Amino acid sequence: MEDKLLLVDDEEGIRNVLRISLADLGYTVFTAADGKEALTIFKEEQPDIVLTDIKMPGIDGVELLRRIKHENPETEVIMITGHGDMDLAVQSLKNDATDFITKPINDDILEISVQKAREKILVREKLRAYTANLEALLREKSALQDRLSSLGLRISSISHGIKGLLTGLDGGMYLVDGGLKKNDSDQIREGWTIVKEMVDRIRKMVLDILFYARERELKPETIDVHSFCQEVAQGVGQKLKERGIEFHQDLSGATGSFRVDPGYLRTALINIIENAADACQKKEDLAAPKVVFRAAEENGEILFEIADNGIGMDEEAREKIFELFFSSKGSQGTGLGLYISQKVVGQHGGSIRVRSQPGRGSRFFLKVPRSGPEEGESAAPA
Amino acid sequence: MPKKILIIDDDPIVVKYLQAVFSDNGYDTCTANSSSEGLEVVRKEKPDLITLDLQMPDEWGPRFYRKLRKDKEHRDIPVIVVSGIDGDHAIQSAVAFVRKPFDPEKLVGIVKNTIG
């Protein structure tokens, strides 16, 4: 884009000559015959450079300079002076004029003067860009710092869990080793049970972390609600029974089909059902630990309900359970399960609610619309 | 008579592990899975040494330690911190700070140096 220049002189002859010279230098030239016209054009065109005669009827050059500087202090104003305008020239200087050229105007001097004004503008623009860059850099740096420190926090909370699991694994192996040395099959069995449990837990944690780190798009399929629920219930129900927990399912209201990413939604549900089982096992002297899994139609959406009669949660825990790396299970939890569940349900356009009281079990409600996620909705966690 | 070690840790598997390590090396053991139970066991069993986890539900290890130090009869029982937390300043006068996962031989070495 060509730079705009405003030329102000009450003499038409001078305007015409200078206009041609300035256009030759590559400027888009606007002209005005007096200060008033000049101000109107200045406001409309916002030229970077103004070249003005100092002696004009009405608003004179110095007054015009003052008003232009008031309007936009970064405008470069070059004054055209005649002989004996010394006082006015000094006043112009005080008002931050860029330069003077004297009549009669020499083309070379004009070019040098305008070029100087141009350079001043360029330097200022560069300075502004540097400053902006610097600010952006600072902002980026502090954002990066934030990310790093929160990452550090995440790693430390997860590393405590991992250390606990590894210690447990060491313990199991130590017992197996000792049992083998002493030929004590009871101790070998005991150690081996621990090894298996630790490996299971480590596997779960690693898979959770991988799930959290994975970036892939949801792959929605239209599937039968009832058979989806049954599949979820079958897998997880068996596991719960092995842990001595009663598992009830009520899928009679789960009819028709819905559009979901079955793998992801299954993970979301299983995370919650396994939490329910953990909550039962944490409650001491619980005579009949029980987890109920219900699915039914509600207002055109599928409502999943997972209820347990375990330890329940206080308000503080209820508020935090969906946060990344929050876990109420100490070294046994990764703080990823419910975070992932909520993420997945959210991506399906649904929601999770929880009702719970300490000592009185928990109920999780997952609503998932039948229409499911938008095609290509990113499954990447934020 | 063998020396007795009290193991305080909320993770039953870690407790079992430490029990096996210590009894294989000729020590008697007793256990507690919380800070408050730990104090009871200290008074009842009068152990020669205590291994203490830092992060436990309800009361953390440092609180147990403060209470132990106020108990005139038992304040001088040496304590080894065995924890997954990186913070060896939590209990400054502990005999040693052993990070989980730990090397059992090293731990036994520390115990032997402390109580023989």
What CATH number does the domain containing A63 carry?
3.40.50.2300
Residue A51 located in a structural domain: yes
State which residue of chain B sits closest to A170, comparing Cα positions.
B101
Show pLDDT as tens, one digit a residue, over chain A (382 residues).
578 999 999 999 989 999 999 999 899 999 999 999 999 999 999 999 999 999 888 898 999 999 999 999 999 999 998 877 788 888 888 888 998 898 888 889 999 999 999 998 988 888 888 888 888 888 877 777 666 666 665 666 667 778 888 899 999 999 999 999 989 999 999 999 999 888 888 887 777 777 766 656 778 889 999 999 999 998 888 888 888 899 999 999 898 999 998 888 998 899 899 899 989 988 877 788 999 999 999 988 999 999 999 999 988 888 888 876 677 766 566 677 888 888 889 888 899 999 999 988 999 999 999 986 665 555 444 3
Q: Is residue A74 part of a domain?
A: yes
| Helix and strand numbers, DSSP H then E, in chain A | 10, 12
A181 min Cα distance to partner chain B (Å): 11
pTM: 0.50
Which amino acid appears at position B88 of this protein?
Answer: D
Specify whether the CB–CB gap between A236 and A350 falls below 8 A. no
Q: Which residues pair with B79 in a beta bridge?
A: B50
Averaged pLDDT for residues B32-56 = 92
Whether B17 sits inside 8 A of A197 (CB atoms) is: no
Across the interface, whether the CB atoms of B104 and A170 are under 8 A apart is answered: yes
Rounded to a whole number, what is the distance in angstroms from the first to the last CA of chain A? 42
**pLDDT, tens digit (0-9, with 9 covering 90-100), for B5-17:** 999 998 899 999 9
Residue A382's pLDDT is 37
Contact between A253 and A302 under an 8 Å Cβ cutoff? The reply is no
CA–CA distances in Å: residue A254 to residues A305, A355, A362: 12, 22, 22
What per-residue confidence (pLDDT) applies to A380? 43
Note the pLDDT of residue A212.
66
A158 and A22, same structural domain? no
Structural domains of chain B, with CATH: 4-115 (3.40.50.2300)
How far apart CA B92 and CA A200 sit, in angstroms, is: 36
Nearest residue on chain B to A197, judged by CA atoms? B13
By Cβ distance, the residue of A164, A174, A194 closest to B84 is A164
Question: SS3 of A67, please?
Answer: helix
Task: Spell out which residues of chain A touch residue B20, defining contact as CB-CB under 8 Å.
Answer: 171, 174-175, 178, 187
Q: Do A171 and B24 touch (CB under 8 A)?
A: no
Q: How far apart are CA A120 and CA A49, in angstroms?
A: 10
How far is residue A225 from each of residues A228, A257, A295, measured CA to CA in Å?
Answer: 5, 5, 9
pLDDT of A338: 86
Residue B75 to chain A, least CA–CA distance (Å) = 29
Instruction: Identify whether residues A168 and A37 lie together within a single domain.
Output: no
> Both A241 and A354 in a single domain?
yes
Identify the CATH number of the domain in which residue A293 sits. Answer: 3.30.565.10
Q: Is A193 on the interface with B (CB under 8 A)?
A: no
Please check whether residue A170 lies inside any domain of the structure: yes
Residue range of the domain that includes A282: 221-369
Spatial contact of A53 and A34, defined as CB atoms under 8 Å apart:
no
φ and ψ at residue A247, rounded to 5 degrees: -125, 120
Q: How far is B22 from chain A (nearest CA, A)?
A: 12
Max Cα–Cα distance, chain A, nearest Å: 118
- What's the total number of domains in chain A? 3
Residues A196, A160 within the same domain: yes
Residues A225 and A335 in one domain: yes
Nearest of A74, A18, A64, A12 to residue A38 by alpha carbon: A64
Please name the member of A163, A171, A198 whose beta carbon is closest to the beta carbon of B84. Answer: A163
Count CA atoms within 13 Å of residue A275 on its CB side: 29
Which residues on adjacent β-strands are paired with residue B96?
B80
Asked if B17 lies within 8 A of A331 by C-beta distance, the reply is: no
Write out chain A residues lying below 8 Å of B102, CB-based.
Answer: 167, 170
Reported ipTM exceeds the 0.90 cut? no
Residues A171 and A82 placed together within one structural domain of the fold:
no
Contact A374, A368 (CB under 8 A): no
Q: Does the beta-carbon distance from A172 to B13 stay under 8 Å? A: yes
Smallest CA–CA distance, residue B19 to chain A, in Å, is 10
| Residues 194-223 (A) with a CB less than 8 A from some CB of B | 194, 197-198
**A160 and B101: CB-CB below 8 Å?**
no
Q: Rounded to a whole number, what is the distance in Å from the CA of B82 to chain A's nearest CA?
A: 11
Contacts of A174 in chain B (CB under 8 A): 17, 20-21, 104
Distance from CA of A196 to the nearest CA of B (A): 12
Is residue A161 domain-shared with residue A192, that is, in the same domain? yes
